[in-house]
Structure 1
Amino acid sequence: MLQTDKITALYCRLSQEDMQAGESESIQNQKMILQKYADEHHFFNTRFFVDDGFSGVSFEREGLQAMLHEVEAGNVATVITKDLSRLGRNYLKTGELIEIVFPEYEVRYIAINDGVDTAREDNEFTPLRNWFNEFYARDTSKKIRAVKQAKAQKGERVNGQVPYGYIADPNDRNHLLPDPETAHIVKQIFAMYVRGDRICEIQNWLREHEVLTVAELQYRRTGSHRHPRPHPNCIYNWPDKTLYDILARKEYLGHTITGKSYKVSYKSKKTKKNPEEKRYFFPNTHEPLIDEETFELAQKRIATKHRPTKVDEIDIFSGLLFCGDCGYKMYLQQGAGTLERKHAYTCGKYRNRIRTGELCTTHYIRKSVLKELVLADLQRVLSYVKEHEQEFIETANECSAKAVQKTLTQQRKELDKAQSRISELNILFRKLYEDNALGKLSDEQFAFLTSGYDEEKKTLTRRIAELSQEIDNATERSADVKRFVALVRKYTAITELTYENVHEFIDRILIHELDKETNTRKIEIFYSFVGRVDTGDKPTESISYFRQIGADVKSYAI
């Protein structure tokens, strides 16, 4: 292509922040300036490339990429912008374009207001101007981040996104109202999940009932979408991640949580999740869609999710069984065929001993035996609570209060110790800083001495936040007993174990190794909200099986 036939690329860019500068920075104004300059200086075959509403920090802009595609194809002779900042506010990438990419393709670059023209030899200050442009972007980003932080601390919705199942209140955008069209979908997803349905079964239900995905619904309502719009054939195909995100959102309990994520850099669109202690929690700000019990059951199941078994179903005790000696998870082993009497559980550490080198014993127990024991113990507890409700509440609260007091005493001691250490570190930091400022310590010595303290301080700060939360949670223990009683009232009787009632009532089960002297195995059941329940009865027992001809009969006690 002859030089005279090549394109004169007139590039315009306007960001959201630039809009505040008024008409002087508008796309229309930029176009007028660029075209006038091109006409007066005899640049022909002009073509506009425009990015409206894009930050100069990112170079993933549609208009810019289209122009660079033409540059790399050898179709561009000259690139003209109103000033350097229109091309970009990242001085490294802007410098790469001006000093490497454009020269390689013999492209002349002109920034009108900054007097930059690569056809001349007087562009020594161009890198400095690029650096100032980036400094402006960094400063603007800081101010925006500070504003968003202030809003998050007040419980205001910063990113404008509303959880699926809610709509923003027309009179107050920071207040949520249940969405008449989708609120029942959220309730259905939770109901199916806590009763033991697998994610694929929930996805099938959504597909059969033609429930639009979150992205497709947003697109139909607003004409825009945050994530890629699904293919027309996939508008009812819900991704696993979307469903797990819904199941984990505390907003469905009626709470507002802000400051959940942050950008890693003003130069990047990538975000990371903030730890719990850095988020802002505002309880009871809107109408809940899900009750506390249902939500907690869902969280328990999410925390223990694993691959389906060979028969493509989730085991009834999934995530609840642990070795009573090493604390490792117990795993289901299925025998030949589908008969449940051949299924059994073993300690995960024992199962992986060859690969990991860690030692434990088998803790083998048949599934049929465990189901028999758990059902009997659950019936024992339900019967006792129904017949002696007030006595149970008083006893459970008394035991709970003792346990809580013991835990609180230990945690408060640890908290006081950690806070004292933080104070000591602050004094050490000040002393080291003064020595460094006065020249008694070199910068290298200062960095070496403070690096270890800095890491210790971060660890202590995290632990203080954890302890404070644990202490707050422990003081609410009495309310948990009432929740367990309310759970018991929901059932007239339990004659068969299901995934739903097992995970509603039971928090975890510990399987201990066989005591060879007594030929018995201890099994501990910890119930939701209240832990172990002592009714004063003899331990629940079950005569088991013969593992081989002539073997002793083993008994199990809870």
Structure 2
Amino acid sequence: MLQADKITALYCRLSQEDMQAGESESIQNQKLILQRYADEHFFLNTRFFVDDGFSGVSFEREGLQAMLREVEAGNVATVITKDLSRLGRNYLKTGELIEIVFPEYEVRYIAINDGVDTAREDNEFTPLRNWFNEFYARDTSKKIRAVKQAKAQRGERVNGEVPYGYIADPNDRNHLIPDPETAHAVKQIFAMYVRGDRICEIQNWLRDNEILTVGELRYRRTGRTQHPRPQLNAWYNWPEKTLYDILARQEYLGHTITAKTYKVSYKSKKTRKNAEDKRYFFPNTHEPLIDEETFELAQKRITTRHRPTKSDEIDLFSGLLFCGDCGYKMYLQKGAGTPERKHAYTCGNYRNRARNDFLCTTHYIRKSVLKELVLADLQRIMSYVKGHEQEFIQTATECSEQAMKKALGHQRKELDKAEARLGEINLLFRKLYEDNALGRLSNEQFVFLTSGYEDEKRELTKRTAELKKEIDTAAERSADVKRFVALVRRYTEISELTYENVHEFIDRILVYELDKNTNTRKIEIFYSFVGKVDTGDQPTESVSYFRQIGADVKSVVV
């Protein structure tokens, strides 16, 4: 292409912040300035490339990218902007365009107000101007971040996104009201999940009932999309991650949580999750879609979820069963086609003994035996609570307080010990630093002597922070006896174990190794909200035949 036939690219950009400057920075004003300059200096074949409402920090702008494609195709002779900041406010990227990309394609660059013209040899101050433009962008980003932080601290919605199942109140955008079109879907997702349905079954229900995905619903309501729009037959295909995100959101309890994420840098669009202690929590700000019990059951299942491989059914005790001796998870063993009475659990540490340094024993227990034992003990507890409710509340509350005091005592002792050791290490550091500063200890010796203490100090600091947090929140972790009683009242009786009632009532089960001297196995069941329950009756027992030693084995809940 002849030089005379090439394009003179007139590039305009306006960001949200620039709009506050008024008409002088408007796109229309930029166009007038650029066209007048082109006419006065006899630049032909002018073509405008415009980005309206785009930050100069990002270079993923539609107008800019269209212009660069023309540059790379060899169709551009000159690029003209009102000033350097219109091209961009990223020092490195802007410099790369002016000093590398444009010269490679023999493109002349002009910034009218800054007096920059690459056809001349007097552009030494251009990099400095670019640096000042980036400084402005950084300063603006800090101010915007401060404003958003203040809004988050007041409980205001910063990014405008509303959780699926809600819509913004027309009279107050910071207040949420249930969405009549989607609230029922959220309730159904939670109901199916706590019932024990697999995620794929929830996905099937959503697809069969033609419930639009979050992204497709947003597109239909606003015309915006964060990802490429799916094909017609995928409008109802919900991703697994989206469902888990919904199941974990506390907003469905009626609470507001702000400052959940932060941007990595003002130069990047990537976001990361904020730590829990950096978020702001505002309880009971809008109508809940889910009750506390349902939400907690969902969280329990999320933390213990696993991916079934050979079976279409999640195991009854999934995530609840642990080895009483080593604390490792117990795993289900079953052969293809074998009846359930032959299914059994074994210690995961024992199962992985070839890869583990610490050895444990098998802890083998049949699933049928465990089911019989758990059902009998659950029936015993329910019968006792129904017949002696007030006595149970009093006893369980006292036991909870005693257990909490005991645990707090251990935690405070450990905290005192850790803080004392930290004091000793700090004293050693000061002494070693003083010896190093006075020349009594070389730099190499100082580094060698302090390296081990650095690791210990780091671990102790981390542990003391954990202990302080545990002590501060000890009251919140105490047993909620009345909630357990309310749970018992919801059931007339339980004649069969299901995934739902097992995970509602039981927090965890510990299985200990068989005592071969007495042929007795100890099992501990910890119930939701109250832990171990002592009714004063004889322990619940189950007798089975243990094939390895050819004797009756008695499993006992204690």
The answer to whether TM tops 0.5 is yes
Distance 2:427 2:137 in 1: 37
Distance 1:8 1:390 in 2: 87
Pairwise CA distance, 1:333: 1.1
Distance 1:271 1:460 in 2: 31
Please tell me whether residue 12 in structure 1 is matched to residue 12 in structure 2.
Answer: yes
Map of 1:213 onto structure 2: 213
Pairwise CA distance, 1:476: 3.7
Contact 2:400–2:479 at 8 Å: present in 1 too? no
Map of 2:553 onto structure 1: 554
Map of 1:101 onto structure 2: 101
Name the amino acid aligned to 1:554. V
Please tell me whether residue 298 in structure 1 is matched to residue 307 in structure 2.
Answer: no
Pairwise CA distance, 1:61: 1.2
Aligned partner of residue 50 in structure 1, secondary structure: strand
Pairwise CA distance, 1:471: 3.5
Map of 1:439 onto structure 2: none
Contact 2:330–2:348 at 8 Å: present in 1 too? yes
Map of 2:474 onto structure 1: 474
Name the amino acid aligned to 1:498. T
- Show CA shifts across 1:149-178 (max 9, x none): 111111111111111111112222111111
Pairwise CA distance, 1:8: 1.2
The 1:68–1:362 alpha-carbon spacing in structure 2 relative to 1, beyond 3 Å, is: same
The 1:445–1:188 alpha-carbon spacing in structure 2 relative to 1, beyond 3 Å, is: farther
Map of 2:376 onto structure 1: 376
Aligned partner of residue 525 in structure 2, secondary structure: strand
Distance 1:432 1:29 in 2: 67
Distance 1:398 1:197 in 2: 37
Contact 1:110–1:118 at 8 Å: present in 2 too? yes
The worse-fitting range, judged by mean Cα deviation, of 348-357 and 89-98 is: 348-357
Map of 2:332 onto structure 1: 332
Map of 2:523 onto structure 1: 523
Map of 1:540 onto structure 2: 540
Q: State how 1:112-123 maps to structure 2 within 5 Å.
A: 112-123=112-123
Map of 2:70 onto structure 1: 70
Distance 2:445 2:111 in 1: 47
- Show CA shifts across 1:480-505 (max 9, x none): 11000000000010000000000000
Name the amino acid aligned to 2:29. N
Pairwise CA distance, 1:466: 4.4
Pairwise CA distance, 1:470: 3.1
Pairwise CA distance, 1:546: 4.0
Number of equivalences = 554
- The answer for unaligned runs of 5 or more in structure 2 is 434-443
The 1:485–1:537 alpha-carbon spacing in structure 2 relative to 1, beyond 3 Å, is: same
Q: State how 1:300-449 maps to structure 2 within 5 Å.
A: 300-412=300-412
Contact 2:78–2:107 at 8 Å: present in 1 too? yes
Name the amino acid aligned to 1:492. T
Contact 2:397–2:479 at 8 Å: present in 1 too? no
Aligned partner of residue 354 in structure 2, secondary structure: helix
Pairwise CA distance, 1:230: 2.6
Name the amino acid aligned to 2:480. D
Contact 2:479–2:531 at 8 Å: present in 1 too? no
Name the amino acid aligned to 2:254. G
Aligned partner of residue 8 in structure 2, secondary structure: strand
Pairwise CA distance, 1:408: 2.8
Distance 2:10 2:449 in 1: 55
Name the amino acid aligned to 1:142. K
The 1:316–1:47 alpha-carbon spacing in structure 2 relative to 1, beyond 3 Å, is: same
TM-score relative to the length of structure 2: 0.92
Map of 2:163 onto structure 1: 163
Map of 2:222 onto structure 1: 222
Contact 1:27–1:52 at 8 Å: present in 2 too? yes
Map of 1:438 onto structure 2: none
Aligned partner of residue 211 in structure 1, secondary structure: coil
Map of 2:80 onto structure 1: 80
Map of 1:255 onto structure 2: 255
- Show CA shifts across 1:450-478 (max 9, x none): 99999999877766664455345431456
Name the amino acid aligned to 1:106. E
The 1:290–1:447 alpha-carbon spacing in structure 2 relative to 1, beyond 3 Å, is: farther
Distance 1:146 1:46 in 2: 41
The 1:326–1:172 alpha-carbon spacing in structure 2 relative to 1, beyond 3 Å, is: same
The worse-fitting range, judged by mean Cα deviation, of 475-484 and 181-190 is: 475-484
Map of 1:511 onto structure 2: 511
Pairwise CA distance, 1:406: 2.2
Name the amino acid aligned to 2:374. V
Name the amino acid aligned to 1:397. T
Name the amino acid aligned to 1:395. T
Name the amino acid aligned to 1:289. L
Map of 1:487 onto structure 2: 487
Aligned partner of residue 480 in structure 2, secondary structure: helix
Pairwise CA distance, 1:90: 0.8
Pairwise CA distance, 1:315: 0.6
Distance 1:452 1:55 in 2: 48
Name the amino acid aligned to 1:341. R
The 1:449–1:318 alpha-carbon spacing in structure 2 relative to 1, beyond 3 Å, is: same
Pairwise CA distance, 1:233: 2.3
Distance 2:417 2:136 in 1: 44
- Show CA shifts across 1:390-428 (max 9, x none): 111000000001111222334455567778999999999
Aligned partner of residue 74 in structure 1, secondary structure: coil
Aligned partner of residue 354 in structure 1, secondary structure: coil
Aligned partner of residue 355 in structure 2, secondary structure: helix
- Show CA shifts across 1:299-344 (max 9, x none): 0111111111412211111111111111111111112314111211
Map of 1:151 onto structure 2: 151
Contact 1:309–1:315 at 8 Å: present in 2 too? no
Name the amino acid aligned to 2:143. K
Percent sequence identity over matched residues? 84
Aligned partner of residue 47 in structure 1, secondary structure: strand
Name the amino acid aligned to 2:556. A
Pairwise CA distance, 1:120: 0.6
Distance 1:446 1:135 in 2: 40
The 1:232–1:426 alpha-carbon spacing in structure 2 relative to 1, beyond 3 Å, is: farther
Contact 1:155–1:280 at 8 Å: present in 2 too? yes
The 1:454–1:409 alpha-carbon spacing in structure 2 relative to 1, beyond 3 Å, is: same
Q: State how 1:442-461 maps to structure 2 within 5 Å.
A: none
Map of 2:232 onto structure 1: 232
Distance 1:538 1:292 in 2: 34
Distance 1:124 1:453 in 2: 51
Distance 1:2 1:317 in 2: 77
Distance 1:175 1:531 in 2: 38
- Show CA shifts across 1:201-225 (max 9, x none): 0011111111111111112112223
Contact 1:328–1:347 at 8 Å: present in 2 too? yes
Pairwise CA distance, 1:45: 1.2
The worse-fitting range, judged by mean Cα deviation, of 351-360 and 77-86 is: 351-360
Contact 1:215–1:228 at 8 Å: present in 2 too? no
Name the amino acid aligned to 1:552. A
Map of 1:134 onto structure 2: 134
Contact 1:251–1:257 at 8 Å: present in 2 too? yes
Name the amino acid aligned to 1:303. T
Contact 1:79–1:108 at 8 Å: present in 2 too? yes
Distance 1:306 1:185 in 2: 24
The 1:362–1:459 alpha-carbon spacing in structure 2 relative to 1, beyond 3 Å, is: closer
Distance 2:423 2:324 in 1: 40
Pairwise CA distance, 1:282: 1.1
Aligned partner of residue 510 in structure 1, secondary structure: strand
Distance 1:432 1:50 in 2: 63
Distance 1:412 1:21 in 2: 59
Aligned partner of residue 396 in structure 2, secondary structure: helix
Aligned partner of residue 37 in structure 1, secondary structure: helix
